[in-house]
Chains A and B, each alone.
Chain A
């Protein structure tokens, strides 16, 4: 019996100590002490004021700005809410490597950056002309805290400007995230590119587009797209809003939006709202000569018309408007083709992808200098637009 009692004692002792040491989480950090980073911006280095560093090895290469959620924005002061405090903090640091910058921030901010809630990532055009996207984002692709759902943008001005706002109740990072979801309303937005998609794009060697954001005085606007060279992953230039619209039509990726056309006969504005759009590429290969033909089809409704209401909406009228919309779309498409083929000489429209899938053997031979080949390839397009509806107003 004595023996059993000792055994029981030993067992209880072990259990007690296991509970003491094994319960809870080894690496826990209280939630108030986390600096939840929701956005990050990369800019070319700026001289930082009174933040002298003694690190002689450090070069000033880039400035990184993290947007942190302010844990208590409406802190009470004698019962009165302090007005004018923003719900976020933007903290910037200059250096030559991202991780070192992140750690540097831990020396001047009470809450170190915690990145699993990072939503957006903005790279300025300026820095993307000197450094490659791969270099800038390497840390974010390695780190265990960063989720690949983070969306990537390019800004044509300073990137940290896009993380600012004049309003006190919005998070600039969430604003970018939400705007990028409005693709169903306009064809001037690019499908958002999360880091997950960026990995493949960066390593495929094919050029691609990233949504461009412009900002001034705390206001932002999504405007056009940055063209990223597939070989160097650097920014070559931009597509403006109309060219991006052309791109969307061209790829048939649009989920919704409108086309504005001027009716030639009456010189009045007509608006066509897209319901469906699709495009398909066909290629003809004759020896070394490749040619593409793109056919774009769309259905939608006549949603606004400034044409004198005397004119009846009959088949003839519909035909005429359809033709005019087709011409407008064709112009947009030609515009973007000219820009990419002649000015940038890179293929962002997916012709390479088409070859890779439909003519894999040809692609194997051409893929290494595809961008050069592409700039001389003849491309034709034809657009078919169908108006299936004209809303709830009828004109007799």
Chain B
């Protein structure tokens, strides 16, 4: 059903896919949430450690998916643990993806509502985004990936540019001392930083679309390094400017960083709208990826046509997006998603991989 030749994506495309999936809400709040946990300027170390953990889970997911040629998780999970358990797991995954996609679009509406379109109602921002997203993914994975390829370079260039422009306010003392109170503070936030790399779960279905599935490990390596650089720079610059006492009081510290300076004499004086523009594109990217993942799962578990399932899950996503009443609800929902990600993508793939290895030849024979 999904394995037409034209539905294959190249290895660089896979990297862009995963990286775009990764860079989302977290980039705006990461400096605050990590400092809240660790209460130490050492969180940049935690960001690196988190990447290592994410990398390991990514490798496990790849190793698992590589066992089953051209099959997505929704299909092969049933081969490993049987119909019932496999389907249950798949449905949990679908719920996860759809909730995440709802969260992304809700945060998108919140942030644009706060910074850009103050009087625009939430639904008026969410709906056009959703319809645009549906239009895009009804073409399958290829148009989706191509869009990501177009917006990715803009994101990298603009994001780096606006981050480095705050160098005037940067104070190295805000990042010192390094490990002044030992390693414990740095380890406290490790869950938070590891969760900011939740993107490798996409490989559960993405490997099936890869032209060269054997290169998936390479993909994981590169797709860990790119977000690592992003997150590291963000955390270092934001803490360097605000200090840890200041960063914990800001809801969206990364946006605040860009509003902290004005550069006179350039074409623009202020760059926050540029940052918001690329960020909106990245959130949209994450939204359509998770939406696609959910719809694909729905189609494969219930044996429906994918273009039909896209519309079936549409109201679900919209309703979940509208459920949180306020900002605290949204962050709580985000925490739930994070915790379920630990279970779903931290432990389940590992267990499945062990089962597959134990079963050995039996599964391979099926293919």
Q: Which residues of A contact B (CB under 8 A)?
A: 22, 25-27, 141, 144, 147-149, 194-197, 199-201, 203-205, 353, 356-358, 360-361, 364
Contacts and interface: CB of A to CB of B under 8 A. Distances in A.
Interface residues of B, number: 33
B259 interface: yes
Which 6 pairs show the lowest CB-CB distances between chains A and B?
A: A200-B246, A360-B180, A200-B243, A196-B260, A199-B246, A27-B119
B149 interface: no
Nearest to A353: B173
A358 B178 CA distance: 10
A196 B120 contact: no
A136 to B, nearest CB: 16
Contacts of B245: 199-201, 203-205
Contacts of B180: 356-357, 360-361
Contacts of A197: 169, 241, 246
Nearest to A142: B251
6 contacts: A27-B118, A27-B120, A148-B259, A149-B261, A199-B246, A199-B249
A358 B249 CA distance: 26
Nearest to B171: A197
A27 B243 contact: no
A27 B113 CA distance: 10
A26 B181 contact: no
Nearest to B247: A200
B181 A361 contact: yes
Contacts of B249: 141, 199, 203
B250 interface: yes
B176 interface: yes
A375 to B, nearest CB: 23
Contacts of B174: 200
A144 B118 contact: yes
B242 interface: yes
B181 A364 contact: yes
B315 to A, nearest CB: 19
B238 to A, nearest CB: 10
A358 B257 CA distance: 27
Contact of A357 (B176, B244, B259): B176
Nearest to A21: B124
Contacts of A195: 260
B117 A27 contact: yes
B260 A144 contact: no
Given A22-B128, A25-B117, A197-B169, 10 more contacts: A26-B120, A144-B115, A147-B260, A196-B246, A200-B243, A203-B248, A353-B173, A357-B176, A357-B177, A357-B180
Contacts of B124: 26
Nearest to A22: B128
B173 A196 contact: no
Contacts of B248: 203
B312 to A, nearest CB: 21
B270 A26 contact: no
B36 interface: no
Contacts of A361: 180-181
Contacts of B260: 147-149, 194-196
Nearest to A25: B117
Contact of B177 (A26, A199, A358): A358
Interface in B104-123: 114-115, 117-120
A362 to B, nearest CB: 10
Nearest to B118: A27
Contacts of A353: 173
A147 B119 contact: no
**Which of A194, A197, A200, A356 has the largest count of B CB atoms less than 10 A from its CB?**
A200
Interface string B256-294: 110111100000001010000000000000000000000
Contacts of B117: 25-27
A357 B270 CA distance: 33
Nearest to B241: A196
B246 A26 contact: no
A25 B115 CA distance: 14
B119 A196 contact: no
Contacts of B259: 147-149, 196
Contacts of B176: 357
**Which of A194, A201, A364 has the largest count of B CB atoms less than 10 A from its CB?**
A194
B120 A203 contact: no
Contacts of A205: 245
Contacts of B181: 360-361, 364
B242 A200 contact: yes
Contact of B114 (A144, A194, A204): A144
A197 B246 CA distance: 8
Given A26-B124, A144-B118, A360-B180, A199 B242 contact: yes
A4 to B, nearest CB: 20
**Which of A147, A195, A205 has the largest count of B CB atoms less than 10 A from its CB?**
A147
Contacts of B241: 196-197
Contact of A196 (B118, B169, B272): B169
Given A27-B117, A148-B260, A356 B177 contact: yes
**Which of B114, B241, B247 has the largest count of A CB atoms less than 10 A from its CB?**
B241
B118 A357 contact: no
Contacts of A356: 177, 180
A128 B293 CA distance: 56
B126 to A, nearest CB: 13
Given A22-B128, A196-B169, A360 B119 contact: no
B123 to A, nearest CB: 12
B285 to A, nearest CB: 21
A120 to B, nearest CB: 12
A356 B181 CA distance: 10
A204 B41 CA distance: 13
Nearest to A145: B118
A203 B118 CA distance: 29
Nearest to B262: A149
Nearest to A146: B259
B250 A199 contact: yes
Contacts of A200: 174, 242-247
Interface in B143-199: 169, 173-174, 176-177, 180-181
A194 B246 CA distance: 13
Contacts of A358: 177
B243 A194 contact: no
A98 B260 CA distance: 22
